[in-house]
Structure 1
């Protein structure tokens, strides 16, 4: 099999017409080969792909925003074919979208690659291309910093899989139909948030940013056609399109995720932090369209901490103070809605019941679509299935999840798990420790900040000291997060402490919970035992789905630990000097 070498990839300067001043073995081969090119100045960059660079540059030179980009380079290799250059183009667009030193001018259509022979071997070379672009001072940020950034993770420039492409098209078809909206359903990790941001970016990007001659795939062409129909129906023109940014928003219930996305939106061209709003925000004004991410976390007036703002929103909208919900606010204050929903991620009685969503989904006013492909975890859909079956007692004796790309391990010693999280943070970044609600949150009060919330195997620990964007906060590595701090976020590695409130009963072969050991008061008030079990299992499953490369577990209760031992690799407790 042919070995690929990054030395065979050349980044060469070209002039405004696409001509290269140097000499190749075959000049004709350069001008008629598939290649990737970059147009940039100090502030902006545009990335494209072509088999005829001169003709493509002639098109760009007629475009006001691109003709002024006079620093121009082509990325060329005898190893390249059309599939490879489409892949490299999408790769660079996605990574430059997270480069904080320069503004990406590409629209988010036409950036799709597809599977081809030896795709992974080619992609292994692309990191070297990024390093070469750093040497040329076109890229400034390290590859590792880029891929671990929130901007990269939530970039609307992702190459979408077939599942996600169909979801985007279904959203657009719904918007040009008579329906009020759509429900996009999918397990954790199926890319619902990415789809929401992708669609929003598509809708608010000025039409002049789209160049149809670059849309060579069927998905991009259909999406662009639907986008033009939507704009025509809504009376959107180049003269008034800037106003869309005040009429379309994404609704995020969770404080931590909302803070993260506000930072992401402030860094992406055509998006703004004000477009990321809370349900309370929507009670104050009308919107043409909202995309509601994690809709299963919309609240009802049960077990919430502080009723004041909730009641004020209900009164503002003329709704009954006790029965009005955040879903009611959205339906009343918006013309159209796109909901992203997964009932299996409901974790509290506060969360609106699935029955209310079922009513909408069964009505003729809403269409539905189910996502199936796992895109977050390197364990893929098999890991998702494994976790569900682990909690539902559906695994056969000694059945384990095995993968060369993903790690799941049970630690007998908590200290060893914590050491591994520290080690993974040093190696890969974005590695955090989280736990279930078996400990009171004493340090939430300022007067208690010097205390500790928990002690596990002699190690004193505190819950998260901040609510917004905890994962990226200064002291996150030394703290313990909860479901509320990681909801909607990705971690390279996640260490999970299964608390004293969850156990395994060998007599009934079932997962059980101890109500008195569960310290989230608002999470357990007014629940029966079946409901509390449902919520707690959902919390731990959702935590396990946060890990991209690996999940490390520790169980406080020996019987649960013994159950897990049957189904995953065990790391034997190692005594350290500290112990």
Structure 2
């Protein structure tokens, strides 16, 4: 299906699927980016190696551009016209995120040029090609910052770096990379690490700057970035984007339920500060009068967590919403996010962070405590930037809750 065939999407429960579909309407800038990606692939398809990097904040449309370009490349690869530059090429889109794989495969079911098998997890792709001595022509990677940077035998990856292995198995690699979304030590990336790995490989970088998810004035994203960096700015000015501070998490949840009833895709999220064990039992987020179970692990469910009707009665984690759009997000800041009255700064305390798996494996970074706080700040940034229409915030820490309440009272 070519970009000339477009759909208009309403804000219903299927909107997050549609907004990553190759049929979704693109801006002129995005159309040019898709053309640039395809042109890069055509230019380098007969080279030994080449890499194109798409960089940009959460919500800048990286995944949509990536999937649209991938769809057009697959259309050319499967065309009967053997004179096309990418005819007959073997191409795959990888993403190391089980919920995103569901989303992509659900999209592929309705696009004639795509197959569900076109989308794979990196470990499956690497192990299959190593076993068959195969080679891919073009590999697209969404959320490349989630690729493993060390061995993970539990998940059947035994080499030292997933991107390094993918580079050995493909002529052309096109990847979305955002080091601010690194969430675990075993996949710990920064720009320096990436550049070292790509040294000697022809590489181009495209920066995406337009914000398509968070439909707000720039002061909202400035506030979010500053908060994740430990600074408290005056709250964003009143605007169409609904930015609110709550003293009661239960009240926030009831408002999220009302938003979900009105326009769908509205969910409660929390920092990973409440006990959660994958043992088949329900686990709960408890703060004040609020008591609600964490998201249930349902890997066999055909829908991603954010699109399941029952998930309105659950609290989502960074792992269930990374890469997804919501209309409204109610964010609970747990015990690891506190406030220092003396310095008027946000404190991230790893001792209260319940995601112990995030800190498994000591990397080459020198200061482990700083690296832990970096991972926590990244997770916070991810959940703060899920919503298109409104961000609602509640703080478990009493001092932080009081400081945010004061800022709310001083809001212009």
Tell me whether the two structures share a fold, i.e. TM-score over 0.5.
Answer: yes
Instruction: Write the distance in 2 (CA, Å) between the matches of 1:161 and 1:403.
Output: 27
Secondary structure class of the residue paired with 1:190: coil
Asked whether 1:445 is paired with 2:279, we answer yes
Partners of 2:61 and 2:68 in 1: how far apart?
10
1:501 equivalent in alignment to 2:336? yes
The residue aligned with 2:141 is: 292
Alignment partner of 1:374 is 2:211? yes
- Would the aligned equivalents of 1:361 and 1:368 in 2 still touch at CA under 8 Å? no
The TM-score normalised by the length of structure 2 is 0.86
Distance 1:464 1:343, change over 3 A: same
Tell me if the contact between 2:266 and 2:312 (Cα under 8 Å) persists in the aligned partners: yes
Residue 311 of structure 2 corresponds to residue 462 of structure 1:
no
340-349 vs 522-531, which deviates more?
522-531
Matches within 5 A, 1:393-412: 399-402=234-237, 404-412=239-247
- Whole-angstrom distance in 1 between the partners of 2:306 and 2:52: 31
**Cα pair 1:189 1:376 within 8 Å, conserved:** yes
Give structure 2 stretches of 5+ with no counterpart: 130-134
Task: For 1:77-226, list aligned pairs within 5 A.
Answer: 107-109=2-4, 145=12, 148-178=14-44, 180-205=50-75
CA deviations 1:504-551 (Å, max 9, x no partner) are: 212233322222211111113447221111111111111111001111
Partner of 1:353: 189
- SS of the equivalent of 1:378 reads coil
Within 5 Å, give how 1:4-83 maps onto structure 2.
Answer: none
- Partners in 1 of 2:295 and 2:408 — Cα distance? 28
* Paired residues, number: 391
Q: Work out whether 1:266 is the aligned partner of 2:109.
A: yes
Instruction: Give the one of 386, 393, 410 matched to 1:546.
Output: 386
Task: State the Cα deviation string for residues 386-441 of structure 1 (Å, max 9, x = none).
Answer: 31123335565xx3313533111111001100101111111111111111111111
> 2:150 and 2:399 mapped to 1: Cα distance?
37
After alignment, is 485-494 or 455-464 more displaced?
455-464
Spell out the pairing of 1:204-353 with structure 2 (5 A cutoff).
204-205=74-75, 232-234=84-86, 236=87, 241=88, 244=89, 247-283=90-126, 284-285=128-129, 286-301=135-150, 307=154, 309-311=156-158, 314=159, 324-353=160-189
TM-score (norm 1): 0.62
Once the two structures are TM-superposed, the CA of residue 474 in structure 1 deviates from its matched residue by 4.3
Q: Does 1:422 align with 2:257?
A: yes
Q: Does the aligned pair in 2 maintain the 1:196–1:293 contact within 8 Å?
A: yes
Distance 1:553 1:298 in 2: 30
Runs (5+) with no aligned partner, structure 1 = 1-105, 113-125, 128-142, 210-227, 315-323, 572-579
Contact 2:149 2:186 in 1 (8 A): yes
Change (3 A) 1:380 1:158: farther
Answer yes or no: is 1:392 the counterpart of 2:218.
no
Q: Distance in 2 between matches of 1:427 and 1:481?
A: 20
- Of structures 1 and 2, the one scoring higher in RCO (CA 8 A, sep 6+) is 2
Farther-moved stretch of structure 1 (278-287 vs 480-489): 278-287
Which is worse superposed, 399-408 or 546-555? Answer: 399-408
Q: Is the 1:497–1:553 contact (alpha carbons within 8 Å) kept by the matching residues of 2?
A: yes
CA drift at 1:192: 0.5
Indicate how the Cα distance of structure 1 residues 541 and 507 shifts in structure 2: closer, same or farther if over 3 A, else same: same
Shift of 1:380: 5.5
1:72 is aligned to none
Residues 504 and 512, structure 1, Cα contact 8 Å, conserved in 2: yes
Partner of 1:512: 347
Tell me the CA shift for residue 568 of structure 1.
4.6
- Alpha carbons 1:496, 1:552 under 8 Å: kept: yes
Q: 1:515 to 1:207 in 2, by over 3 A?
A: closer
CA–CA distance in 2 between the matches of 1:170 and 1:190?
17
Equivalent residue, structure 2, for 1:74: none
Structure 2 match to 1:71: none
Deviation at 1:340, TM superposition (A): 0.6
Give 1:107 deviation, angstroms.
1.7
Query: Matches of 1:569 and 1:259 in 2, distance apart?
Result: 42
- Residues 9-34 of structure 1: CA distance to partner in whole angstroms, max 9, x if unpaired? xxxxxxxxxxxxxxxxxxxxxxxxxx
Structure 1 pair 477–338 and aligned structure 2 pair: CA distance change class (3 A): same
Does the aligned pair in 2 maintain the 1:187–1:372 contact within 8 Å?
Answer: yes
- Aligned-CA RMSD value: 2.9
SS of residue in 2 equivalent to 1:176: helix
Deviation at 1:155, TM superposition (A): 1.7
SS in 2 for 1:410: strand
Q: Deviations over 1:300-325 (max 9, x none)?
A: 236x5x635112xx3xxxxxxxxx21
CA distance in 2, matches of 1:438, 1:420: 22
Give the deviation of 1:500 after TM superposition.
0.2
Distance across 2 between alignment mates of 1:516 and 1:182? 38
**2:356: which partner in 1?**
521
State whether residues 379 and 403 of structure 1, in contact with CA within 8 Å, keep that contact through their aligned partners in structure 2: no
2:373 pairs, out of 533, 546, 550, with 533
